[in-house]
């Protein structure tokens, strides 16, 4: 709650909340994305120049210092702002965590005298600083020419709409080196995205080092070659051996990097399907004999993990090493696109079905996922899976990622499960951004322009009020079958991720696509300054 001792600013903030709810308080003189809950632009401005100092109210907290330094580093480097910490109370910027307000919230006040940032917690502090950056010239982050500028006098009161604000990256179809992953996390964090779903295993490659199973990186991390084009006709390979993986040290470094930027990483280890690469390394995990090879084409593959006791032992051992690396609550176990042909034909699976009293092979998928959920829960983690995990019996504590539309999410929320919405119709960033496909980089298909992403509303209107609270957020997915370079990933991500950011952070009533298009100009200028690729919006 806003304290009444704030006096005039209290009234201003309340006015702002009312104004933004009516959709009529969208000041023309800021470019903040995602648009905050309340912005009141006053009159006048603050002159900020390279001698501006900072006063951290609690400098003894190393996390506050670290968050501030992460934000300040490029400005110090460019020379735009020295941000020395010697200024004490006279400093232009005062930063504090006061524990007030909702999780991840912050209040940012710019007066003609200086800047005050009060945050509820570390995430709120990080986000308040991101907003502050967006009040500065877009090239202040890189240019030594920008050493003096004016900030508008304003009051911002901001907090997220959803707790889960996610972006995914498939590093299995194509591999992206650790430096790019950190850069990707930077881009997410700039826009207050707080979940990075790291899709680490697939038919075409296994990307995470597991000590107990060295063949996962010796064998499963490499494919002989890659299909060219959509592969609808006869296979045509590029003849180039392809692969890579992250070492545990690299993963630890990336996890720490993400944590410092308030991003929780959700690692995905796919099961029971999309497992061909693992089967190429350890064919005894399949229902048939093999041998298998790491897939060179895209699609859905019939060879999946067989639910032997030894397969569970393998997966649990893998998960123990994964749990050890990732401190977040969630482990994603995939669960999507697992054809049951091999299970139907397997004597072992048929016996298991008799033993367990199953009359449908889909129930074996339910059994598989429930066992894995129990294991994860026993080790202090929560299971999240694609919406196919509903089929065959939803595990009791699972969170569902609804991708085949919203039906799965609606059903899971009605059954009391947390849901992350990620329907391909609105949030699959591997789809074309223009109907004019000829002039776009080759993509998987589909059509997902910026305004469609922007228009997405994660909470289905037909849900009862109590089920609505189960929609914890939304996520955009970046599948990389046709993206070989970081530059191409950036092009598919931006600016569509900015639209997602506004969907998951901003009050629904504050959204306005025309205004958004105006505001993102500043961001495209910043991407230019940073050398980040993006697609120029059509309008």
Binding site for ligand ACM (CB under 6 A): 336-337, 386, 403
Which residue's beta carbon is nearest to the bound ligand ACM? 336
Pick between residue 56 and residue 427 the one whose CB is nearest to ligand ACM: 427
Pick between residue 403 and residue 482 the one whose CB is nearest to ligand ACM: 403
Shortest separation between residue 445's beta carbon and ligand ACM, angstroms: 13
Shortest separation between residue 195's beta carbon and ligand ACM, angstroms: 16
Pick between residue 170 and residue 467 the one whose CB is nearest to ligand ACM: 170
Nearest alpha-carbon partner for 476 in 409, 431, 428: 428
Pick between residue 245 and residue 403 the one whose CB is nearest to ligand ACM: 403
Shortest separation between residue 334's beta carbon and ligand ACM, angstroms: 8
Contacts of residue 378, Cβ cutoff 8 Å, sequence gap at least 6: none
How far is the C-alpha of 57 from the C-alpha of 59, rounded, in Å?
6
Pick between residue 358 and residue 403 the one whose CB is nearest to ligand ACM: 403
Pick between residue 69 and residue 302 the one whose CB is nearest to ligand ACM: 302
Shortest separation between residue 424's beta carbon and ligand ACM, angstroms: 7
- CA-CA-CA-CA torsion for 22, 23, 29, 31, nearest 10 degrees? 130
- CA-CA-CA-CA torsion for 335, 337, 343, 344, nearest 10 degrees? 130
Half-sphere exposure of 141 (CA within 13 A, CB side): 21
Shortest separation between residue 336's beta carbon and ligand ACM, angstroms: 4
At 373, is the secondary structure helix, strand, or coil?
Answer: helix
Shortest separation between residue 89's beta carbon and ligand ACM, angstroms: 53
Shortest separation between residue 428's beta carbon and ligand ACM, angstroms: 7
CB burial of residue 308 (10 Å; 0-12, 13-18, 19+): middle
How far is the C-alpha of 458 from the C-alpha of 450, rounded, in Å?
16
Are 331 and 377 contacting, i.e. CB atoms less than 8 angstroms apart? no
Residue 393 is classified by DSSP as -
Residue with structure tokens 């964090």? 189
Pick between residue 368 and residue 516 the one whose CB is nearest to ligand ACM: 368
Strands 106-110 and 148-158 come out as: antiparallel
Shortest separation between residue 401's beta carbon and ligand ACM, angstroms: 7
Residue with structure tokens 């600083």? 129
Shortest separation between residue 350's beta carbon and ligand ACM, angstroms: 27
How far is the C-alpha of 529 from the C-alpha of 527, rounded, in Å?
5
Shortest separation between residue 468's beta carbon and ligand ACM, angstroms: 24
- Quote helix, strand, coil % in the chain, to nearest 5: 40, 20, 45
Pick between residue 36 and residue 166 the one whose CB is nearest to ligand ACM: 166
How far is the C-alpha of 138 from the C-alpha of 72, rounded, in Å?
15
Pick between residue 105 and residue 477 the one whose CB is nearest to ligand ACM: 477
Shortest separation between residue 386's beta carbon and ligand ACM, angstroms: 5
Shortest separation between residue 4's beta carbon and ligand ACM, angstroms: 48
Give the CA distances from residue 368 to residues 99, 321, 333, 472, in Å, rounded to whole numbers and listed in that order: 43, 20, 11, 25
Residue with structure tokens 């790291």? 198
At 305, is the secondary structure helix, strand, or coil?
Answer: strand
Contacts of residue 420, Cβ cutoff 8 Å, sequence gap at least 6: 164, 166, 384, 399, 400, 401, 402, 409, 472, 473, 474, 475
CB burial of residue 512 (10 Å; 0-12, 13-18, 19+): middle
How far is the C-alpha of 63 from the C-alpha of 415, rounded, in Å?
39
Are 253 and 317 contacting, i.e. CB atoms less than 8 angstroms apart? no
Shortest separation between residue 337's beta carbon and ligand ACM, angstroms: 5
CB burial of residue 536 (10 Å; 0-12, 13-18, 19+): exposed
Q: What is the rounded end-to-end Cα distance, in angstroms, of the chain?
A: 40
Shortest separation between residue 12's beta carbon and ligand ACM, angstroms: 45
């Amino acid at each position: 709650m806003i304290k009444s001792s704030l006096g005039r600013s209290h009234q201003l903030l309340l006015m702002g909340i009312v104004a933004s709810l009516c959709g009529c308080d969208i000041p023309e003189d800021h470019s903040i994305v995602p648009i905050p809950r309340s912005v009141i632009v006053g009159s006048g401005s603050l002159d900020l120049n390279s001698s501006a100092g900072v006063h951290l109210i609690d400098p003894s907290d190393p996390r506050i210092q670290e968050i501030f330094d992460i934000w300040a580093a490029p400005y110090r480097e460019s020379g735009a702002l020295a941000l020395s910490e010697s200024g004490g109370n006279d400093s232009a910027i005062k930063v504090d965590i006061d524990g007030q307000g909702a999780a991840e919230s912050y209040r940012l006040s710019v007066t003609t005298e200086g800047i005050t940032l009060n945050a509820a917690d570390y995430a709120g502090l990080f986000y308040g600083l991101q907003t502050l950056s967006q009040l500065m010239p877009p090239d202040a982050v890189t240019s030594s020419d920008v050493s003096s500028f004016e900030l508008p006098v304003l009051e911002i009161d901001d907090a997220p709409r959803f707790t889960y604000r996610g972006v995914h990256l498939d590093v299995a179809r194509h591999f992206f080196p650790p430096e790019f992953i950190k850069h990707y996390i930077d881009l997410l964090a700039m826009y207050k995205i707080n979940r990075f779903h790291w899709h680490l295993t697939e038919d075409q490659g296994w990307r995470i080092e597991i000590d107990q199973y060295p063949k996962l990186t010796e064998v499963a991390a490499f494919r002989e070659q890659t299909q060219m084009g959509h592969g609808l006709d006869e296979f045509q390979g590029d003849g180039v051996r392809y692969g890579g993986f992250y070492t545990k040290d690299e993963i630890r470094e990336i996890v720490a990097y993400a944590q410092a930027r308030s991003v929780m990483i959700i690692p995905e280890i796919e099961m029971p399907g999309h497992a061909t690469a693992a089967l190429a390394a350890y064919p005894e995990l399949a229902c048939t004999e093999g041998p298998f090879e790491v897939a060179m084409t895209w699609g859905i593959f019939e060879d999946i993990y067989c639910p032997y006791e030894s397969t569970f032992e393998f997966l649990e051992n893998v998960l123990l090493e994964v749990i050890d690396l990732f401190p977040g609550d969630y482990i994603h176990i995939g669960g999507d696109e697992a054809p049951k042909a091999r299970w139907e034909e397997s004597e072992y699976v048929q016996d298991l079905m008799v033993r367990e009293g199953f009359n449908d092979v889909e129930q074996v998928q339910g059994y598989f996922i429930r066992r894995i959920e129990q294991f994860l829960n026993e080790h202090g983690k929560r299971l999240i899976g694609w919406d196919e995990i509903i089929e065959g019996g939803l595990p009791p504590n699972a969170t569902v990622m609804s991708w085949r539309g919203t039906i799965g999410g609606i059903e899971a929320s009605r059954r009391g499960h947390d849901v992350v919405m990620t329907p391909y119709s609105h949030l699959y960033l591997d789809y074309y951004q223009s109907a004019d496909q000829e002039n776009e980089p080759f993509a998987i298909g589909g059509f997902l322009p910026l305004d469609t992403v922007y228009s997405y509303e994660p909470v289905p209107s037909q849900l009862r009020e109590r089920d609505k609270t189960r929609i914890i957020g939304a996520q955009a997915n970046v599948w990389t079958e046709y993206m070989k370079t970081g530059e191409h990933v950036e092009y598919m991500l931006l600016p569509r991720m900015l639209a997602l950011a506004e969907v998951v952070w901003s009050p629904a009533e504050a959204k306005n696509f025309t205004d958004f298009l105006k505001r993102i100009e500043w961001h495209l200028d910043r991407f230019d300054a940073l050398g980040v690729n993006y697609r120029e919006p059509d309008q």
